[in-house]
Structure 1
């Protein structure tokens, strides 16, 4: 059989192949760099959290307000303590005077018409007028304080339920609800009288004082002619 000769590559051909290989390599490298540097879409996983839109904050809740009294037409609205008593009652207290100066001083030892903290909280947080009969010389063992308080229907329910919880004797009188309590401690006669009618609360507490018919006089004065 005839023998085959081994093919030979000339030097010129070798250089051509090397140049072509170099061009291909450069092309591949540039293509890879181009692909790596392409911009990623916004939803590409793995982006920094700081590059994502921050969630919007939920609006703050609206504050809850307590119900306020809406004074109906015809409801008594005295603007001063002088308007809640008859002339006869003003003369019946003897040595006690209405709202002596010391009772208006900061830190004065005075009351608002009730001893129970829950009832006092309703009085002080509501529109009210407080009138105090006391010694002009300062705190003593005798006195009366009354608050005329304007209540919402919800507050009226709160007060009447609290009076029942405290065990005060309550009954219907003069078109409203009257509640009473009285006790004697250490020689002191201490009591309370409460009257609720038409969104108005007359809250009274007393110590060794209080002419007969005191609450009736206020009712007849405020609701005169009704």
Structure 2
């Protein structure tokens, strides 16, 4: 029996809403196409399934990072190898006036191979709105690993025969938002999560 796609989308939105509400911090804060089982995206380790409530996070605020290399494991840095970091051709990067860190990995001479991550402070309400919109309107898959909420999606590049994607992870008022094209080191987002929250 075929299921109504709108009913499925609405159910997914309700489940995500419940998951984000359950993982909301009680005090303080720093104030930051479906994944394929064979695709190593910038999110790192992939999981599937229905999101479930995350444990209540600690009340201590999480400091936003200031160094793009320091937040990554040696394995991820090795995979990035000689990929330039924060080349001026890609525009502003590094620590912004609001404290957010933007890391842009990519060769300015390449047409599409690039990975951009922004780590910023974001309270539960705006995070809830953003992630629900991505799940409802753009078909992102969302679940709740590592004490937070993660949404991700991959799709074919419109111009080149490569994969593009976006992965977001929110926990303790910190949002890690990565957009990539043809550059998806295994364990990338998980490495950042481990650095920030463990």
User: Could you state the TM-score of these two structures normalised by the residue count of structure 1?
Assistant: 0.54
State the match for 1:157 in structure 2. 128
CA–CA distance in structure 1, aligned partners of residues 66 and 97 of structure 2: 18
Contact 2:29 2:61 in 1 (8 A): no
CA–CA distance in structure 2, aligned partners of residues 128 and 91 of structure 1: 25
CA–CA distance in structure 1, aligned partners of residues 171 and 146 of structure 2: 9
Structural mapping, 1:37-186, within 5 Å:
70-71=29-30, 73-104=60-91, 127-135=99-107, 137-165=108-136, 166-185=138-157, 186=160
> Structure 1 residue 95: deviation in Å?
3.5
Contact 2:104 2:115 in 1 (8 A): yes
Q: Which runs of 5+ in 2 are unaligned?
A: 1-27, 31-58
- Per-residue CA deviation, residues 27-85 of structure 1 (Å, 9 max, x unaligned), is xxxxxxxxxxxxxxxxxxxxxxxxxxxxxxxxxxxxxxxxxx95263413212323321
Measured on the aligned residues, the alpha-carbon RMSD in Å equals 2.6
State the match for 1:218 in structure 2. 192
CA–CA distance in structure 2, aligned partners of residues 125 and 181 of structure 1: 29
Report how many residues are paired: 138
Contact 1:76 1:223 in 2 (8 A): no
Q: Which runs of 5+ in 1 are unaligned?
A: 1-68, 111-123
> Structure 1 residue 170: deviation in Å?
0.5
Contact 1:126 1:151 in 2 (8 A): no
User: Quick check: which one's helix share is greater?
Assistant: 1
User: Structure 1 residue 189 and structure 2 residue 173: aligned?
Assistant: no
Q: Which runs of 4+ in 1 moved over 3 A?
A: 124-127
> Structure 1 residue 200: deviation in Å?
0.8
Q: Pick 1 or 2: higher relative contact order, CA cutoff 8 A, min separation 6.
A: 2
State the match for 1:54 in structure 2. none
Report the 3-state secondary structure (helix = DSSP H, G, I; strand = E; otherwise coil) of the residue aligned with 2:131. Answer: helix
User: Could you state the TM-score of these two structures normalised by the residue count of structure 2?
Assistant: 0.61
